Structure 1
Amino acid sequence: MKHPHRERDNWTLTTPAARSTRGAVASQHRMAAQAGAAQLDVGGNAVDAIVATAYALNAVEPWMCGLGGAGFMVIWLAKEQRAVALDFQGVLAGDTRLEDYPVDPALPATPMGFPGVVDNANIEGYRSITVPGAVAGLEHALARFGSKPRAEVMAPAIQLAERGLHVDWFTSLQIGVCARTLARDPVSRSIYLPGGHPATPESRLRIPQLADTLREIAESGADTFYRGALAEKIVGDLQAGGSRISREDLAAYEVFEYEPMAAAHRGYTLYTPGEVSGGLRQREMLAYALEAMPTPPETPTPETWLAYAEALEHCWKRHKIRNGVLSPTDGGFGGIDIENGACTSSMSSVDAEGNMVALTYTLLNRFGSGVTLPSTGMLMNDSVSYFDPRPGYPTTMEGGKRINSSNMCPTVAVKGGEARFSVGASGGNLIMPAVTQVAALMMDFDMSLEDAVHHPRLDASYRGSIRVDPRFDPETLAKLGERFELEIAQQLVFPKLYACVSAVSRASENGECIGINDPTQPIGGGAAPAPFQIEPLDDEPVVRP
């Protein structure tokens, strides 16, 4: 039994939930959730709310997601009684060449378990960037299923970008963790490392061009981003930095809309983006747990958590074999552990009509490639690291290839023809285990969303041991220890060892909606419908690059 974090923080983490019968939004940043909830306040629907939230995160949580990222969305359309999935994942440049990414055996594997390459070219800098799908995905969702004009939905994001990024201790932490990567890019260095050091709390950072870029998208939509004046700026910056992404690559980008994967569990139907997301692992985990526990006890028992842990190990082993990270005949464990819940932003929304959305999108690693494009203020992804630099594998790099294996797992759960909850998370390999445990607790034990999010979790991904929150009772720890090598590790603000969950729920009996973010996220939260208001920060020093 390992105790990697024996010196425990001296506090108990809890977080309040937002409640309203008019809907709710949950996000990894409270201001972004409030931007989304403001759309509900003026009659918008859950899709309007999620798009407003996603755009606002560019200005308040730029290190996790943004215009330069990609992801998935699952939407429940209450009147139509159907679910829709959107895939707006990144795509490799058409001229991608394996010789640009020679394997360096001296470097550690990437977060996806693939070999490191010379100069970290697949995870840092311009060569690590894929064609971003975020703007296309948000535009598609709003045009197809939203109800408000783009300019109105994006107005809070523009306001926040014009005000600048408020630096608190948590922001300083994010910058400090990635200071080495940020220092490689002159624009990122000038923004986030003023004077050569991470920006200090109680200051305000201006991200040059970001407000103008958001304003241009609000006026002209995805067309300018992929085929117009903004595309010209983006490609000019990318190619000047050494990227092989072309105007043709941007113009060819498309969003996939399709029927999501469904998984049945105790009267619920869970919708996820399917095999290219964490959805298949979720379905396999739940099926395994259901077989091990056909009739759940009244409350979770040690045997419950053993069943969940074994189910997670089972689905992760299958996943690693499918991806070529692990041989079917190999007795060892594939891939690596992610120690800090490094990446991504997840958000959920629900409106009074019962429409519900789960959205997860990402720059992949924290601050992505570390590159900020000088003409647009966009932080760019490092999603080339989703691909294997070795030939002959299912995920091998290939020109024009779309990301086809992700941990993201936005989930909407429906029962009796009504969306009951949606849940997603950030945290790389930690995402699917956390999302599925929260969902399982609600479905297996009729636990409230608030209780499920606050409940201790474990993390297992077929890596040779499982991580367990010490808040579990001694009997559960003993039962798990009979079967697994345990890492006893407290739930922390950093590193986030059990992912960062965002979720909403809606009660069938009275329509009460709840929004809540993970208790480990000090800047996260839920929001109920209200006008969007930001306080001026005139008393803070403004750091201008």
Structure 2
Amino acid sequence: MKNLSVFSLFLVINISAVFSQNHYGKNGMVASASTYASQAGIEILKAGGNAVDAAIATTFTLAVTWPFAGNIGGGGFMVIHTENGEVTTFDFREKAPFASSKDMFLDKNGKLKSGSNHNTALAIGVPGTVAGLYDAHQKYGLIPWEKLLERAIQLAESGFPLPKSLANDFFQFAEAPEKYPEMQSFIKRDGKVVGFGEDWKQPALAETLKKIQKEGKKGFYEGEIAEALADYIQSQDGIITKEDLAQYEAIERSPIQSTFKGYQLYGMPLPSSGGVTITQMMNMWEQLEETPIIGSVQYYHILAEIMRIAFRDRAKYLGDQDFIEIPELEKLLSDEYATELLEGINFDKAGESTVTEIHSIHEGQETTHLSVMDANGMAVSMTTTLEQGYGVKMQSPDLGFLLNNEMGDFNAVPGKTTNNGQIGTPANTIEAGKRMLSSMSPFIITKNNYPFLVIGSPGGRTIINTVFQTILGTTVYDYPMAQAIEAPKIHHQWLPDRIIYEEYKMAPETLKALEAMGHEIQMRSFLGRLMGIKYNAETEFMEGAADSSSPDGGVAAY
């Protein structure tokens, strides 16, 4: 049965790979959720910019062409591999406003007010994207800041044909104006909803981008934009002030670094949980006595058990290290601890997750990722987010950009943990100025001190596991980039105690065998939307791919 399962699975992999092509480049490559944005990044590389410059241009263009998750009203994380082989990161995660408190989403009886931490202006965290991009450019960029926004401004002013995926969403918003009142001015021009294929112009966003182009991050966090943004949020009963904006700072941090079978792995430190959790899982995988056949029942069983344990530790220990001490962190990253954890895995039977231990909090799935590599060995892996699709679905018509609902990533009800995914541990409770825990997991893998893999994904809690499996696919199983991205993936997050798998990508006999081992199984349409670049040292070619589940994703290269 196992041999048939593997055969069926490889058949699915080969079929699915048809829909995600490997793209090749010699001098530079960008993979993102928008073909327009990837092309903007390549334009910058051709103009003499480096990977950091290209990543910035791509990100600003995503704010125009992919408002579903691309943004200047949210935040994210960036991992940079420099030309000289050094690796650093920029943390521009959103922060809790100064007026925040641990019980701000609770009613007088201590219960969560339904939707308050996701669907109201109270859910808006202080945006970090512009600060992070500007600071990264000031230290590592090559060409003038002003040039990096030119393509985004041009597309916002002149417009671009609205893609089908956005047009479908616009229609849904238009059908429910009472539910989404703040989205109506965003999706309409001259009183009419912009439709598929029609030029979508965003004049207010263009003017906002021009101010950022001229004044850098000060143009966003001070002056007219900051005043208008604070006034708008407060008009919607939010609590962000001009002081919150003026005092926001991105932080350059040292990466989480580890080794795996001759590779060097670099991920984000806290408050991104991805670097720690993926490192922990890679450490466990490296110490397996036998490497399972990819796609086999045993392969998925081991994956699930490793994920189960790592997500337990994620929720139990991890948060914003600027606010809490994490004495267990060094232990979590050690080989000795990985050995200890492996000893607790039953390789023939599913483990058991109990509510008395800690489990994961809900996170929105609608982040976006981009990977960039230039001809000189500089690489950028960056994931940004609004939290849910279109964030909190609010925007000032005078400014033209959507705002995040990242406050929902905090533990909203301190001390209360339930089976449905609510968590109340102290590490990620709300505090003024604190950054909320995230699953975003941009990674750069190097071999012989040169970038080998630049990878990341949107997907909320599933990000960690999709990136983990893609790293395994390229390093252990030597998959080309597109095949590693399209290969069937699973997700387990401690509780709810189940394996989630991707629709149409798992053989029925494999699923039955996993159920026979005691696993509960649940289907989802897709897990993550990976964007990756793999470098072949022998041919000196970059190989890139965008996940086929990303409706408008694309790779640009030259």
1:133 is displaced (CA, Å) by 0.3
SS of 1:428's equivalent in the other structure is coil
Q: Which amino acid aligns with 1:96?
A: S
Offset at 1:380? 0.5
CA contact (8 A) 2:118 2:405 kept: yes
Shift of residue 86, structure 1, vs aligned partner: 0.7
Is 1:317 the counterpart of 2:320 in the alignment? Answer: no
Show CA shifts across 1:341-374 (max 9, x none): 7311100000011111100011111111111123
Aligned-pair identity in percent equals: 28
Deviation at 1:432, TM superposition (A): 0.8
Taking a change above 3 Å as real, the CA distance of residues 90 and 153 of structure 1, as seen in their structure-2 partners, is same
Q: For residues 301 and 462 of structure 2, what CA distance do their matches in structure 1 show?
A: 18
- 1:179/1:441 Cα in 2 relative to 1: closer, same or farther (>3 Å)? farther
Q: Which residue number corresponds to residue 339 of structure 2?
A: none
Output the amino acid matched with 2:378. Answer: N
How many angstroms does 1:90 deviate by? 0.7
Judge conservation of contact 2:173–2:180 (CA < 8 Å) in 1.
no
Deviation of residue 176 (structure 1)?
A: 5.3
The residue identity in structure 2 corresponding to 1:351 is D
Q: Indicate conservation of the 8 Å contact 1:354/1:506, yes or no.
A: no
From 20, 35, 38, give the equivalent of 1:30: 35
Q: Return the match for 1:343 from 354, 357, 366.
A: 366
Distance 1:385 1:180, change over 3 A: farther
How far 1:282 sits from its partner (Å)? 0.6
* Corresponding residue number in structure 2 for 1:360: 383
Q: Which residue does 1:284 correspond to in 2?
A: 280
Aligned residue for 2:451, secondary structure, equals: strand
Name the Cα RMSD after superposition.
2.9
Kindly provide the amino acid, as one letter, of the partner of residue 498 in structure 2: S
Greater Cα offset, 24-33 or 372-381? 372-381
CA contact (8 A) 1:18 1:528 kept: yes
Runs of 5+ unmatched residues, structure 1: 1-10, 106-114, 530-545
Question: Could you tell me how far apart the structure 2 residues matched to 1:337 and 1:252 are?
Answer: 28
Partner of 1:413: 445
Q: Any conservation in 2 of the 1:55–1:66 contact (CA below 8 Å)?
A: yes
Contact preservation (8 Å) 1:116, 1:122: no
Q: C-alpha distance in 2, partners of 1:91/1:18?
A: 37
Residue of 186, 190, 201 corresponding to 1:191: 186
Matches of 1:480 and 1:442 in 2, distance apart? 24
Given that 2:112 and 2:413 are in contact with CA atoms closer than 8 Å, whether structure 1 keeps it comes out as no
Q: TM-score, normalised by structure 2?
A: 0.83
Which residue number in structure 2 is paired with residue 468 of structure 1?
501
The code of the aligned residue for 1:498 comes to: L
* Structure 2 residue 96 is the aligned partner of structure 1 residue 92: yes
Deviations 1:387-438 (A, max 9, x none): 22334622222222222x1010000001111110111000111111111100
Q: What is the identity, as a one-letter code, of the residue corresponding to 2:281?
A: M
Counterpart among 394, 407, 430 of residue 462 in structure 2: 430
Candidates 466, 486, 489, aligned match of 2:523: 489
User: Is contact 1:270–1:414 with CA below 8 Å preserved after alignment?
Assistant: yes
In structure 1, how many angstroms separate the alpha carbons of the residues matched to 2:211 and 2:382? 23
CA contact (8 A) 1:306 1:479 kept: no
Q: Deviations over 1:288-318 (max 9, x none)?
A: 2222x34536755432222222111111122
- 1:180 is displaced (CA, Å) by 8.2
Could you tell me how far apart the structure 2 residues matched to 1:306 and 1:518 are? 24
**Cα pair 1:28 1:523 within 8 Å, conserved:** yes
Contact 1:23/1:349 (<8 A) preserved: yes
- The 1-side partners of 2:281 and 2:306 are apart by 5
Change (3 A) 1:335 1:346: same
Deviation at 1:200, TM superposition (A): 3.5
Q: 1:174 to 1:56 in 2, by over 3 A?
A: same
Name the counterpart of 2:137.
142
Number of residues of Structure 1 aligned to a counterpart in Structure 2: 499
- What are the ranges of 5 or more consecutive residues in structure 2 without an aligned counterpart? 1-14, 320-352, 416-425
TM-score scaled to structure 1, two decimals?
0.84
Give distance in 2, aligned partners of 1:116 and 1:374.
Answer: 34
Deviates more, 1:179-188 or 1:136-145: 179-188
Q: Separation in 1 of the partners of 2:193 and 2:518?
A: 40
Alpha-carbon distance between aligned partners in 1 of 2:433 and 2:376, rounded to the nearest angstrom: 40
CA shift at 1:456, angstroms? 1.3
Supply the AA of the counterpart residue of 1:420: F
Pair 442,167 (structure 1): closer, same or farther in 2 beyond 3 Å: same
Specify the alignment match of 2:22 in structure 1: 17
1:270 and 2:304 aligned: no
